[in-house]
Structure 1
Amino acid sequence: MKIAVVDDSKEDAALIVTYLERFERENSQSFQIKVFYASIDFLEEYKGDYDVVFLDIEMPGSDGLEVAREIRSKDQSVGIIFITSLAQYAIEGYAVQAIDFMVKPVGYYNFSTKLQKAFRFIETHREKDILINNKEGIFRIRVSEILYIEKERDYLLFHMKEDCFSTRGSIKEIKDKMSGLPFSECTSGCLVHLHYIKRIGKDSVLLTSGQELPLSRRQKKTFTQDYIQFMGGM
């Protein structure tokens, strides 16, 4: 597993590295760790090959939130954990799907809990493909690119980032097929990819693509709980 620590404080970065090395010993893990003391150095090197990034929010130049936005524009599966001296900044992590945040000074127990959350996040974001069979042929589509799935008469419509595929089927069948993946039903006959949620409102769900879907009163509690769990309980 490849991990980056981005913090302009050498002392704080060294502490995170010490915790990572301790976690390795205690959990029989093996990490490749690299430390960056400037956000620009990290962004110049970043190629989407890190599994987890520990990111200080308050840094000169591009702050941690700006760095996280840049990361997310290229990589949807990396686990981001913010490190901050001021907890009020951390709420902005929702916008970039951060796993969680840690307030300095960071203790080891808190650190290890967040790292375990990162592992769960990575597992749910691993690339998976499914096959769509319709009159035009058989298509292999990436689960990570599905925004939502809706039922329309006897068909299921797979709304993608740049396309839409249809196939005969039922919501029950696709729910069984997608079991364990980050999808939840916002209203009867509509499964939403939790990663693409921008806002959960009173009676609707806004996606990062700008689309707004209905949120039924019956589904709202479960849907909201699924989203909070997906986000690591942040």
Structure 2
Amino acid sequence: MIVNIAVCDDKQASLDIIQKELVKAANNLNITIETYLYMDGNEVVDLICNSKEDFDILFLDIDMPNISGLEVAKKIRNAGSDIILIFISAHEQYVFESIDYNPFKYIRKNKIEEEIEYSLKRAYKRISSENAKSIVVKTEDGEVRLKHTSIMYFEVYARRMSVFTNGNQKRNLVGRKTIKKLYSELNDEDFIQIHSGCIVNVKYIDEYSGHDITLDNGTKLIVSRPRIKEVKEAISSYWSRRV
């Protein structure tokens, strides 16, 4: 497996150092990587938000002119990207602000040599784990294999089951598979059944209030009364695992 890594920093010298340390870390860990270097955060936003490149990890400097790393992170998260985001900064005061964008790690620039290998090792472990989880579904366009991480939710409406994936793509499923059977096949703690006709990937839940959940693309879904407690526990468990 090749891990595609984007690195964004407004200074060429910093890019060179980060790339050098990534190559060294990858060799030590026996990981194959491809690195892509950028000095303009707006270019990174365009590549990721418009699906022009498929990066696995983004190493992102925070303190940049024109557009800060925090603004880059905000734009790609708002676009629905779940890329592994690793902030790099010389200023530790940004740590708390960066939390809003679900960073995987925060690396101090004066500690790059010490911290980059550990960050790459952890990120690779998550990528490997997520790539191993997938499900094959029969759709109107034929059989499709979907990574669990790309699935936002399954929903039954008017006796038709559909799957919604990140990027707001909808596919109608064919066959007689029930929600109960599908939930069993997923066998993934990140999925929770919120009512008799809907299964949601907890990673895409942005807000929870009363009998409603709101996904990070703005979609609102109703939680049935008997499942409120279970859904709240699943959300809390997921968020605590990501801290």
TM-score, length-normalised on structure 1? 0.71
Aligned to 1:89: 97
1:52 paired with 2:57, answer yes
CA distance in 1, matches of 2:44, 2:194: 41
Return 5+ residue gaps in structure 1 as ranges. Answer: none
Q: Which has the higher helix share?
A: 2
**Unaligned regions of 5+ residues in structure 2, if any?**
none
- What residue number does 1:187 align with? 194
Match of 1:13 in 2: 15
SS of alignment partner, residue 87 of structure 1: helix
Q: Aligned-residue CA RMSD in angstroms? A: 3.7
Pairwise CA distance, 1:122? 3.4
Partner of 2:161: 157
Is the 1:48–1:74 Cα contact (8 Å) retained in structure 2? no
What TM-score results when the alignment is normalised by the length of structure 2?
0.69
Question: CA 1:14 to 1:200, structure 2 compared with 1: closer, same or farther past 3 Å?
Answer: farther
In structure 2, the partner of 1:3 is 5
Q: Among the aligned pairs, what percent are the same residue?
A: 21
1:222 aligns with 2:234: yes
- Would the alpha carbon gap of residues 216 and 117 (structure 1) be closer, same or farther in structure 2, given more than 3 Å must change? farther
The more displaced of 113-122 and 56-65 is 113-122
Q: 1:156 to 1:117 in 2, by over 3 A?
A: farther
What is the identity, as a one-letter code, of the residue corresponding to 1:56? Answer: D
Q: 8 Å contact 2:88–2:108 — kept in the other structure?
A: yes
SS in 2 for 1:106: helix
Distance 1:158 1:44, change over 3 A: closer
Describe the shift of the 1:113–1:221 C-alpha distance in structure 2 as closer, same or farther (beyond 3 A). farther
Q: After TM superposition, give the deviation of residue 68 of structure 1 in Å.
A: 3.2
Pair 116,191 (structure 1): closer, same or farther in 2 beyond 3 Å: farther
Deviates more, 1:26-35 or 1:196-205: 196-205
Q: CA deviation at 1:13?
A: 3.4
Shift of 1:54: 0.2
Within-5 A mapping of 1:98-109? 98-108=103-113
Match of 1:130 among 126, 132, 136: 136
Residues 114/199 of structure 1: CA separation in 2 closer, same or farther (3 Å cut): farther
Confirm or deny that 1:178 pairs with 2:180: no
